[in-house]
Amino acid sequence: MLSATTPIVLLQHDGLTNLSGKTGLAMLRYRPGPIVAVVDPSQPTGSLEAITGIRRTVPVVSNLRAALPFGPEAAVVGLAPSGGRLPDGLRADLEAALAAGLNLASGLHTRLGSDPQLAALLRPGQWIWDLRQEPAGLAVAAGRAAALGGERFLAVGTDMAVGKMSACLELTAAARRQGIDARFVATGQAGILISGGGVPLDAVRLDFAAGAVEAAVLTAAAGAGDDTLLFVEGQGSLCHPGSSASLPLIRGSQPTGFLLVHRAGQTALTNHPALALPPLRQLIDTIEQLAALGRTGTAPAPRVRAVALNTARLGEAEASSACAAIGSETGLTCADPVRSLAAADRLLEALRADEGIRTPGWRHHKPLP
């Protein structure tokens, strides 16, 4: 419902400086269409680049009414709070947006369109898009994506919010710069808002989750050739006790390869510091062994082919050292695709290699039959 050319205002309340605002921050980095203003009462006079490091010139204002002179046509909730519930401080600006004639788009679990107070403010032709809804007509997955030509790369993370979507978008862009037909399959709210399509995986009943991924992959691959690359956005983590997304993504996308995404220096789950992350080599083995099950066709079992390292908290020298260390530990090409175009190109090259790039000292355990 949200056109790529629609001028939008991001409702980023208290989310410009932390991961609760990751949806809006991702849109600021990757949405090609116009973002005319950002609302964040905690940062009413700051520079967007100074606050976030994102090189995009967008005014930051304290409330929705202050954004109206910039000409938005839709207000987008840029927050992804735990549980996806509507933050209390957001309601006044939602009501102000509707009263001003703007449309609303939201990826919260709280359905804004079902809110009586908000629905009462709608005028003819005005809409509220709650994108976190289960698509109609879903079926149980049947491994149909395995019959597709080209390659399908699924991003898998060591934790939540480590940069799986960003890595996929950067690699999609890198492939397109080389003239390759590359397509991004969104599976979360930010990816859908940026790309205009996909499936909100965490809104789908578990029985149909793999089928929803399968349907999204088949849709994205329509008209694809043998050289087409699909980058499937990952969700959650096999390491996280609250995440159930990894298996439906593996089953539904039937990937030909994996991109492991990790944050430099992280040794435990962000929201569960008592839960240590396993060694990356152990996690790689687990991913590959799981992917060897539940497959259709005769293609070789998919391997983890490269590591995208989130080095946002490091300086240039530290980032380079961290990538080298992870590369040595795993025997795989490791780079931060967000940090430079050259890094994205290196990861793309590694992903496209038939078996990934592994050093002789790295020993892979035999996958499950």
Could you tell me if 167 and 118 lie in one domain?
no
pLDDT bucket at 165, cuts 50 / 70 / 90:
very high
Q: What is the pLDDT of residues 298-341, one digit of tens each?
A: 888 999 999 999 999 999 999 999 999 999 999 999 999 999 99
Residue 208 to residue 213: CA distance in whole angstroms = 9
Mean pLDDT estimate for the chain: 93
Q: Which pLDDT score is estimated for 359? A: 36
The answer to whether residue 106 sits within a structural domain is yes
Q: What is the pLDDT of residues 262-309, one digit of tens each?
A: 999 999 999 999 999 999 999 999 999 999 999 888 888 999 999 999
The answer to whether residue 211 sits within a structural domain is yes
Q: Which pLDDT score is estimated for 297? A: 80
Residue 139, C-beta contacts closer than 8 angstroms, at least 6 positions apart: 208, 211, 215
Q: Which pLDDT score is estimated for 85? A: 84
Q: What is the CATH number of the domain that holds 292?
A: 3.40.50.300
CA angle 18, 20, 23 (to 5 degrees): 105
- From 130, 154, 187, the end of a domain falls on 130
The answer to whether residue 363 sits within a structural domain is no
Q: Which pLDDT score is estimated for 369? A: 30
Q: Which pLDDT score is estimated for 312? A: 93
The answer to whether residue 150 sits within a structural domain is yes
Could you tell me if 166 and 315 lie in one domain?
yes
Residue 172, C-beta contacts closer than 8 angstroms, at least 6 positions apart: 182, 183, 184, 229, 231
Does residue 247 carry a pLDDT above 80?
yes
Could you tell me if 171 and 66 lie in one domain?
no
Structural domains of the chain, count: 2
Could you tell me if 174 and 198 lie in one domain?
yes
Could you tell me if 175 and 286 lie in one domain?
yes
Could you tell me if 122 and 195 lie in one domain?
no
Q: Are 99 and 121 in contact (CB under 8 A)?
A: yes
Q: Which pLDDT score is estimated for 311? A: 98
DSSP letter, residue 60: E
The answer to whether residue 271 sits within a structural domain is yes
Q: Which pLDDT score is estimated for 364? A: 36
| pTM value surpassing 0.85 | yes
The answer to whether residue 358 sits within a structural domain is no
Q: 62: domain range?
A: 8-130
Q: What is the CATH number of the domain that holds 126?
A: 3.40.50.720
Q: What is the pLDDT of residues 105-124, one digit of tens each?
A: 999 999 999 999 999 999 99
Could you tell me if 302 and 345 lie in one domain?
yes
The answer to whether residue 116 sits within a structural domain is yes
Residues 64-71 have a mean pLDDT of 97
Residue 114 to residue 128: CA distance in whole angstroms = 9
